Amino acid sequence: MLGQNEQGIKKRMEGRVLLNKILMVLFFLATTVGLVFLVLLFYRVLTQGIGYLNWNFITSFPAPYPEKAGLWAGVMGSIFLMLIVAVFAVIVGVSTAIYLEEYAKQNKFTDFIRVNIQNLAGVPSIVFGLLGLTFFVYMFNFGYTLIAGGLTMALLILPVIVVSAQEAIRSVPSEIKEASYGMGASKWQTIARVILPASIPGILTGTIIALSRAIGETAPLIIVGAATAIFTLPDSLLAKYTVMPIQIYNWTGRPQEEWQYVAGAGIIVLLAILLLMNSIAVIIRNKYQRRL
Amino acid sequence: MDKGLQSEGNVNVQQMIEDKKRSKSLGEIIEKIIPWFLLLCAIVSVLTTAGILFTLLRESIGFFANVSIIDFYTGTDWSPWTGHYGVAPLIGGTLLITLIATLTAVPLGLMSAIFLSEYANDKARRVIKPILEVLAGIPTVVYGYFALTFITPMFQTFIPDLGIFNALSGGFVVGIMIIPMVASLSEDAMNSVPNALREGAYGLGATKFEVVFKVVLPAAFSGIVASIVLAISRAIGETMIVTIAAGATPNLTFNPTDSIQTMTAFIVQAATGDTTFGSTIYYSLYAVGMTLFVFTLVMNLIAQYISRRFREEY
């Protein structure tokens, strides 16, 4: 009787251990699916685009022929746009973070701002495009210009910058804050000369990551009217402009196969810039993380 | 006063005190102004939300003055260029994409999270997790390109009558994009389950998968559900992948091989076309935008509610 029972338990045990092994392999395979698609995507883009990628492609304006088309207007447009976005979003975002972390009292209004920022981060980017269309394009009468696109994008990434700046400010040890107060420094002196310098690496990392999201963003800029084909570089805030993702989108939508290769070349440039930005962010983080 | 006291040095000291006083008062002014400036910046985010609500509501009301709100939400024909504004096909398209994306991302994301949190060692986790998160950082226009030029032809070898534009590859690639969201947030939830619970189960003779399914998953349930809801919200609002790969055919169907149009894709289509300011189509952008906004807002609120209400405290 006892022997039979033992036998049964042993049998079940074998089954359970086997199931455990099978599931472990299954979980591992599921994890690799994401990685496999990442590799496939990079491989596909590289093989499609490499043939059209050369210096001429980067420095040429759009053209009606695939061999002569270029990304220059998009590259420069993206850079100008990011400058506007960075200036506006960093000033407003970091100020908001300082306010929330250092000045705000614990009350309903502060909670409201916090919840509001959290919810804003979940709003689809295209809705920000509609906001920009109403306010910046029509109400402020900027039209389809660089400044309208820049302000729209700045509002889009504002929540990301606020949250990362808050984290950076919070991670400044309170001892050095107390030390500053102890030396007789005022609140703003402490913020400007102790807290901000100590949190700059964190803020910079968050900003670069937010900007790398903005530089690949397409939908809101379509709504606020970034041009698809443009033959001059923007020379003022009120100039027409295009950006890299819009050009890529435009090329992807064309039926002839050659344009797919041109789009692939554009994607390689875009991904290279993203890789560069993210590497800088990682380097900054690793370099300064140890010191605090 | 004695003349000797008015030496150069004395004047300088007085001047220094004066300067000090003046600079101190300047400092005090700065000290008073700065908080107000910071508050003003903090209010920008509130104004942004107010602006979104204001613009969506105002322009939608303008739209519903021309098209009855009942026709809009009950009609099944969406062809704005001939004056038919029944939004059901666009909502159907969005839901179909979201469903396919969820069916792709939830199993893969959850299994990845389980592997990373329970099976992988520290070294493997530190390599795999960041690589997986790269998926979330790739621009959506790149995913759209990938779906149209690679995934669709690949699917066509299995399903020969699959069109160039179809909901299946669009939804699938949206799913790939949101895997890291499900995986990362679920893994965080599983990591916060205390080891004592696991040790207890091991002590009773449980195998690893039994610990995962009977202890870790139930304990991390609220975090996992919240991550899924957030990922769904992201899929609903996704624009470029579905615009490029899923087509521009408003189509009330649940056949994933059909070409469809989502709410977001319509907004892009109407914005790139020659839509004159003030026309009914122009206003319809906002009515569709508001519907989309409500969908994602409800999802986000549910996610926040779940993670607050059902948070397990250990």
| pLDDT per position as a tens digit, B287-300 | 999 999 999 999 99
Q: Which amino acid is at A183?
A: M
| Second-level CATH architecture of A57-289 | Orthogonal Bundle (1.10)
Q: Give the mean pLDDT of A147-151.
A: 95
- DSSP code of B67? S
Lowest mean pLDDT among A255-269, B81-95, B131-145, B268-282: B268-282
% of chain B beyond a pLDDT of 70: 93
DSSP secondary structure code for residue B84 in this structure: E
CA A225 vs. chain centroid, Å, equals 21
Partners of residue A274 in chain B, C-beta under 8 Å = 137-139
The residue that leads in pLDDT, A97 or A57, is: A97
Min mean pLDDT across A195-199, A220-224, B22-26, B57-61 is at B22-26
pLDDT band at A291 (very low <50, low <70, confident <90, very high): low
Measure CB to CB from residue B41 to each of A92, A112, A127 and give the nearest one: A92
Rounded to a whole number of angstroms, the distance from the CA of B207 to the nearest CA of chain A is 7
pLDDT reading at B9 higher than 70: no
- In which band, very low, low, confident or very high, does the pLDDT at A60 lie, cut at 50, 70 and 90? confident
Per-residue pLDDT at A153 exceeds 90: yes
Say yes or no for a CB contact (<8 Å) between A28 and B115. yes
pLDDT digits (tens, 9 = 90+) for A71-115: 999 999 999 999 999 999 999 999 999 999 999 988 999 999 999
Chain B: residue whose CA lies nearest to A214: B139
Rg (CA), chain B: 29
The Cα of A135 is separated from the nearest Cα of chain B by a number of Å equal to 8
- Quick check: B229 and B153 in contact, CB under 8 A? no
B160: left (phi over 0), alpha (psi -120 to 50) or beta: alpha
pLDDT band at A289 (very low <50, low <70, confident <90, very high): low
Specify whether the CB–CB gap between B280 and B80 falls below 8 A: yes
Q: Which of B269, B236, B283, B291 is nearest to A134 (CA)?
A: B283
pLDDT over 80 (residue B273): no
Residue spans of the domains in chain A: they are: 2-52, 57-289
Question: Percentage of chain B with pLDDT > 90?
Answer: 67
- Element (DSSP H or E) covering residue B85: strand B84-85
Judged against a pLDDT cut of 90, whether residue B24 lies above it is answered with no
Residue B241 near residue B72, CB atoms below 8 Å: no
Show residues of chain B in contact with A134, CB under 8 Å: 51, 55, 59
Question: pLDDT at position B312, please?
Answer: 62
- The rounded distance, in Å, linking the Cα atoms of B15 and B19 is 6
Q: How confident is the model at residue B311, as a pLDDT?
A: 67
Choose from B25, B28, B33, B141 for mutation: most chain A CBs within 10 A: B141
| Residue B215 DSSP symbol | I
- Rounded to a whole number of angstroms, the distance from the CA of A275 to the nearest CA of chain B is 10
Residue A13: per-residue pLDDT: 86
Residue whose C-alpha is closest to residue A56's, from A265, A277, A285: A265
Shortest alpha-carbon distance between residue B95 and chain A (Å): 15
- pLDDT mean across residues, chain B: 89
CB crowding A153-187: b at 16 or more within 10 Å, else e: bbbbbbbbbbbbbbbbbeebeeeebeebeeeebeb
Poorest-pLDDT segment among A232-246, B18-32, B57-71: B18-32
Minimum Cα–Cα distance from B136: chain A residue: A213
pLDDT at residue B1 in the model: 45
pLDDT of A41 > 90? The answer is yes
User: Residue B12's pLDDT band (boundaries 50, 70, 90)?
Assistant: confident
Whether the predicted pLDDT of A222 surpasses 90: yes
Whether residue A216 and residue B145 make contact (CB cut-off 8 A), yes or no, is no
What's the CA gap between B67 and B83, in Å, rounded? Answer: 9
Give the residue-averaged pLDDT of B159-179: 93
Q: What is the mean pLDDT of residues B257-284?
A: 88
- The predicted model gives B18-32 an average pLDDT of 76
Task: Record the pTM.
Answer: 0.90
Q: What is the pLDDT of residue B240?
A: 95
For residue B4, what pLDDT band results from cuts at 50, 70 and 90?
Answer: very low
Q: Which residues does chain B have within 8 Å of residue A268's beta carbon, measured at their own beta carbons?
A: none
pLDDT in tens, A105-145: 889 999 999 999 989 999 999 999 999 999 999 999 998 99
CA dist A130 and B266 (Å) reads 13
- C-alpha distances in angstroms, B22 versus B4, B14, B25, B35, B217? 27, 12, 5, 21, 65
Please give the average per-residue pLDDT across B179-195, as a whole number.
93
SS3 of residue A292 by DSSP:
coil
Which residues, 6+ apart, have CB-to-CB distance to A139 below 8 Å?
A: none
- Is A191:A106 a contact under the CB 8 Å cutoff? no
User: Are the C-beta atoms of residues A88 and A147 closer than 8 Å to each other?
Assistant: no
Residue from A40, A85, A127 to probe the interface with B (highest B Cβ count within 10 Å):
A127
Q: Measure CB to CB from residue A98 to each of B38, B111, B142 and give the nearest one.
A: B38
Lowest-confidence region among A215-224, B195-204, B276-285? B276-285
Res A2: pLDDT: 57
Q: Could you give the C-alpha distances from B312 to A192, A215, B181, B220, B222, in angstroms and in order? A: 40, 39, 21, 8, 8
* Euclidean distance between CA atoms B181 and B109, whole angstroms: 8
The two three-digit tokens of residue B187, written as one number: 């893994």
pLDDT value of residue A9:
84
Residue of B nearest to A266 (CA): B142
- Whether the per-residue pLDDT at B5 is higher than 50: the answer is no
Q: Once rounded to an integer, what is the mean pLDDT over residues A9-25?
A: 89
Mean pLDDT of B271-281: 81
Bigger pLDDT: B12 or B242? B242
Distance from CA of B9 to the nearest CA of A (A): 28
State whether residue B160 is helix, strand or coil: coil
Specify which residues B78 forms β-bridges with.
Answer: B85
Is the pLDDT at B218 greater than 80? The verdict is: yes
